[in-house]
């Protein structure tokens, strides 16, 4: 506790010295979310990175998020607390594979989930996050759409829009772990609770949801709802904001495995250290960044 207090004081000092803003995803450890200037889901954080006046963006999340921030704000220094915080789903698609699929469907538009590398975004027509995926698909006038890399979100969007997608077989290790059995057991244990679920979960699990949405959508829904008890089908870091917004409501995470180990690689100590040493910094080759930026900016324009 004493050590954390010292770290927090040092962080405040460094933030001023460096003119830095700290962005944190809702899946980060509480000790990081507590000190962040802004917490959000992938969409809100990308929007914030694109709009900030700060000179330095410290991105507490996983690698692709820092990359997206750098692409959207190329003149800023983007720091991440630990380079090893990657996203296994983002690594499930490679440029060669995507190019081959594009060659097979030359007229298709490519829609890429923001959970992907800068190189994949550079091969993309438009990006999306879980918050705007349905709207992004609806905004497209295309006979064929290639969807990478999340098959679960792809199936959900396909169902919502009625548009057939050519779906890549990637998935989030964390959300995909949640099973129908887990949810059935939780519903039996908490019969008065509503089940809120992220569309990165398996289709049969998503189908059980009383509410389906991105991390921010789940947080907003629970805050506004009259219901007092929820079974939560997304990453456990979300509990920080859920409990902060509604201290009198109960939140039961649907499985003990709903923890993204990559998101938890970051901690307060590493956050302070990266601002002290100004590394690791995100670098994206300008030729890649210029192409990738178009697909991200198109996404930000979809309303």
Residues making up the annotated binding site are: 25, 42, 87, 113-115, 130, 172, 198-200, 215, 260
Assess contact for 81 and 35: CB atoms under 8 A: no
Assess contact for 70 and 58: CB atoms under 8 A: no
Compute how many residues bind ligand SF4; rule: CB under 6 A: 14
Q: Nearest approach, Cβ of 87 to ligand SF4 (angstroms)?
A: 3
Q: Nearest approach, Cβ of 267 to ligand 13P (angstroms)?
A: 18
Cβ proximity to ligand 13P, 131 vs 205, nearer residue: 131
Give the span between the Cα atoms of 8 and 152, in whole angstroms. Answer: 38
Query: Which tokens hold the place of 15?
Result: 């933030």
Compute how many other C-beta atoms are within 10 angstroms of the C-beta atom of residue 111.
26
> Residue 205 is inside which H or E element, if any?
helix 203-206
Assess contact for 69 and 56: CB atoms under 8 A: no
Q: Please identify which residue in the block is written with the tokens 């969007």.
A: 157
> Residue 119 is inside which H or E element, if any?
helix 118-121
**Selected binder of ligand 13P within 7, 33, 36, 42 (CB under 6 A):** 42
Which listed range, 5-13, 100-108, 122-130, 168-176, lies at the site for ligand SF4 (CB under 6 A)?
A: 168-176
Site string for ligand 13P, 98-117 (x = CB under 6 A): -----------------x--
**Selected binder of ligand 13P within 20, 41, 60, 282 (CB under 6 A):** 41
Q: Nearest approach, Cβ of 174 to ligand 13P (angstroms)?
A: 7
Query: Which tokens hold the place of 219?
Result: 């947080």
**Selected binder of ligand 13P within 77, 130, 152, 241 (CB under 6 A):** 130
Give the span between the Cα atoms of 184 and 166, in whole angstroms. Answer: 31
Residues contributing to the site for ligand 13P (CB under 6 A) = 41-43, 87, 115, 129-131, 172, 200, 214-215
Residues contributing to the site for ligand SF4 (CB under 6 A) = 27, 62, 87-89, 115, 172-175, 235, 260, 262-263
């Amino acid at each position: 506790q004493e050590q954390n207090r010292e770290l927090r004081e040092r962080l405040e000092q460094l933030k001023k010295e460096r003119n830095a803003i700290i962005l944190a995803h809702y899946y980060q450890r509480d000790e990081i979310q507590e000190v962040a200037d802004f917490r959000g889901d992938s969409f809100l954080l990308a929007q914030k990175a694109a709009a900030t006046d700060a000179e330095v963006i410290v991105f507490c999340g996983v690698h692709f998020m820092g990359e997206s921030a750098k692409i959207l704000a190329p003149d800023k220094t983007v720091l991440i607390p630990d380079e090893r915080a990657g996203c296994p789903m983002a690594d499930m698609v490679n440029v060669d594979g995507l190019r081959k699929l594009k060659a097979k469907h030359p007229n298709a538009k490519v829609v890429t989930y923001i959970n992907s590398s800068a190189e994949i975004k550079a091969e993309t027509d438009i990006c999306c996050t879980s918050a705007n995926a349905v709207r992004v698909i609806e905004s497209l006038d295309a006979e064929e759409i290639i969807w990478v890399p999340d098959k679960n979100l792809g199936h959900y969007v396909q169902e919502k829009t009625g548009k057939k997608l050519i779906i890549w077989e990637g998935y989030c290790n964390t959300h995909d772990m949640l099973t129908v059995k887990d949810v059935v057991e939780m519903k039996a244990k908490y019969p008065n609770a509503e089940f809120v679920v992220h569309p990165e979960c398996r289709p049969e699990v998503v189908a059980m949801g009383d509410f389906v949405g991105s991390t921010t959508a789940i947080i907003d829904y629970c805050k506004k709802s009259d219901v007092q008890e929820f079974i939560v089908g997304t990453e456990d870091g979300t509990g920080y904001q859920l409990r902060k917004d509604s201290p009198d409501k109960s939140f039961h995470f649907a499985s003990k495995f709903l923890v993204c180990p990559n998101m938890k690689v970051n901690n307060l100590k590493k956050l302070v250290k990266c601002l002290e040493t100004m590394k690791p910094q995100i670098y994206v080759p300008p030729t890649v960044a210029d192409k990738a930026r178009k697909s991200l900016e198109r996404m930000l324009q979809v309303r």
